[in-house]
């Protein structure tokens, strides 16, 4: 049963000298997080974890404790296990998280509750935090700057050969788990439970060794190895389809889970086979937007950097809106890189929703340029739109972008680069450890909320 909070207890009454050692930012955030709107939004999602969460079962970890534990986790960029250990070892964090002298929930418990919070709730939570920043006079929303960065997903470097091996490995595991349920029905079928994992792994090793060699037959040998990998993967897919059909229907939980897993994995493996045949056997150039780069994170995109260092990144492009005071008012996970050009209109609409008026200044880099930006900004009531033009520039536009006032306003845009660097470095947005697109949105959302709360706490403590 979901409960609201533990009975309040003053831990500093037992250890008085700790009161003077408390971080002033945590002291201010303790009061900020007493906001009833924040608590009710989180509690509403936690109450939907199971049908009878609110009225049946053992007492849960209080919703207030879960909210503060998640804030602490992302405030210090800790893992779930490290959050459990650090809070358990610190009286100050026990006081801040309202755990007091009770048992700190373990990492798996915190992870399961965190998954109950919907991505849409995190957007609403961040809007509420921005409202608290306005009340604390951290920002007035007069200026807005927009930029994007790539949040990588937890995948290995994708190649067609490694994806084929992943497909055979996952399908073989599902076939092995399904064997007790379908063994009698498929008793006379030949090779239905055979695993080809060792064969495809040997083929992958041959490809790795072949990359280090030179010779005239290099391409032919590579094509032959890929043909064997594709044949083994095709055969494994046929086995999996036969096992999937033979799984018993009904309310059996194990059979339902296996059918759901087969239905999820089989189309992905077929996509991998198709793109490998097109690229290796047919010599076709497969567009990046059509490529599947991971069976476990299929939402991952190939994003070129056009900069030194890493030529491409594997993840999702996320656009952030920042106002003065270091407050990030909005974040949006984009489908592809070209969508960044259309982010001015939603950014202005969201800004008007949060602040009740348009900003005086809006700025961004060339990636934000679009043909209708001037019209959108004018209709919204923006006084100064400072976004460099992408592509050919007329003499009038060049003179405008070289004017001292335009360049002075554009220099304010550079501050968002530091904000993105801080989000990636201090709040874990360099690489997302959570799974799925919803997990990525949750991870980004909590990082943004933690950053905003830290700025509010610093302002109030000063």
pTM over 0.95: no
The predicted pLDDT at position 215 comes to 64
28-32, 288-292, 306-310: which range is least confident on average? 306-310
pLDDT band per the 50, 70, 90 thresholds, residue 251 = low
Residue 313 near residue 303 (C-beta atoms within 8 A): yes
Q: What is the pLDDT of residues 171-213, one digit of tens each?
A: 999 999 999 888 888 887 788 888 999 999 998 898 888 877 7
Residue 126 near residue 448 (C-beta atoms within 8 A): yes
Question: For the chain, how many residues are written?
Answer: 462
Residue 276 near residue 225 (C-beta atoms within 8 A): no
Please name the residue ranges forming H helices in 76-191: 80-89, 91-96, 107-114, 119-135, 160-182
The predicted pLDDT at position 333 comes to 93
pLDDT average, residue stretch 240-259: 85
The predicted pLDDT at position 153 comes to 94
Give the chain's mean pLDDT. Answer: 89
Residue 441 near residue 318 (C-beta atoms within 8 A): no
Please give the C-alpha separations between residue 196 and each of 143, 165, 228, 272, in angstroms, as whole numbers: 59, 9, 11, 17
The predicted pLDDT at position 417 comes to 92
pLDDT at 19 over 70: no
pLDDT at 14 over 70: no
Query: Which domains are delineated in the chain?
Result: 11-117 (no CATH), 121-155+299-461 (3.30.420.10), 160-290 (1.20.140)
The predicted pLDDT at position 339 comes to 75
With a pLDDT cut of 90, the percent of the chain lying above it is 54
Classify 325 as helix, strand or coil. Answer: coil
């Amino acid at each position: 049963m979901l409960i609201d909070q533990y009975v309040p207890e003053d831990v500093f009454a037992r250890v008085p000298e700790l009161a003077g050692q408390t971080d002033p930012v945590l002291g201010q955030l303790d009061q900020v997080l007493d906001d009833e709107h924040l608590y009710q939004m989180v509690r509403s999602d936690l109450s939907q974890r199971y049908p009878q969460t609110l009225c049946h079962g053992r007492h849960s970890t209080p919703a207030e404790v879960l909210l503060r534990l998640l804030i602490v986790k992302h405030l210090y960029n800790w893992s779930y296990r490290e959050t459990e250990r650090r809070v358990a070892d610190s009286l100050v964090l026990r006081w801040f998280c309202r755990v007091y002298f009770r048992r700190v929930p373990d990492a798996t418990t915190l992870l399961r509750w965190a998954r109950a919070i919907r991505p849409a709730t995190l957007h609403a939570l961040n809007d509420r935090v921005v409202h608290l920043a306005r009340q604390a006079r951290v920002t007035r929303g007069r200026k807005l700057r927009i930029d994007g960065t790539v949040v990588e997903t937890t995948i290995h470097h994708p190649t067609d050969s490694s994806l084929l091996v992943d497909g055979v490995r996952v399908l073989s595991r599902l076939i092995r788990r399904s064997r007790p349920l379908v063994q009698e029905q498929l008793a006379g079928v030949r090779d239905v439970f055979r695993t080809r994992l060792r064969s495809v792994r040997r083929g992958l090793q041959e490809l790795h060794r072949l990359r280090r060699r030179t010779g005239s037959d290099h391409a032919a040998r590579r094509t032959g190895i890929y043909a064997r990998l594709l044949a083994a993967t095709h055969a494994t897919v046929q086995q999996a389809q036969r096992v999937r059909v033979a799984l018993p229907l009904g309310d059996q939980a194990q059979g339902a889970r296996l059918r759901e897993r087969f239905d999820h994995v089989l189309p992905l493996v077929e996509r991998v086979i198709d793109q490998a045949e097109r690229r290796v056997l047919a010599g076709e150039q497969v567009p990046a937007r059509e490529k599947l780069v991971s069976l476990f994170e299929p939402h991952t995109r190939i994003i070129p950097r056009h900069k030194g260092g890493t030529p491409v990144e594997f993840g999702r492009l996320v656009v952030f809106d920042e106002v003065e005071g270091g407050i990030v008012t909005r974040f949006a996970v984009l489908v592809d890189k070209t969508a960044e050009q259309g982010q001015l209109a939603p950014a202005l609409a969201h800004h008007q929703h949060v602040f009740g008026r348009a900003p005086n200044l809006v700025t961004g880099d060339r990636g934000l340029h679009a043909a209708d930006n001037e019209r959108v900004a004018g209709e919204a009531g923006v006084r100064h739109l400072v976004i460099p033009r992408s592509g050919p520039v007329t003499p009038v536009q060049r003179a405008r972008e070289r004017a001292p006032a335009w360049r002075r306003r554009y220099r304010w845009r550079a501050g968002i680069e530091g904000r993105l660097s801080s989000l990636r470095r201090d709040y874990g947005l360099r690489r997302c450890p959570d799974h799925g697109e919803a997990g990525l949105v949750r991870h980004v959302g909590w990082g943004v909320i933690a950053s905003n709360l830290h700025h509010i706490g610093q302002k109030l403590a000063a």
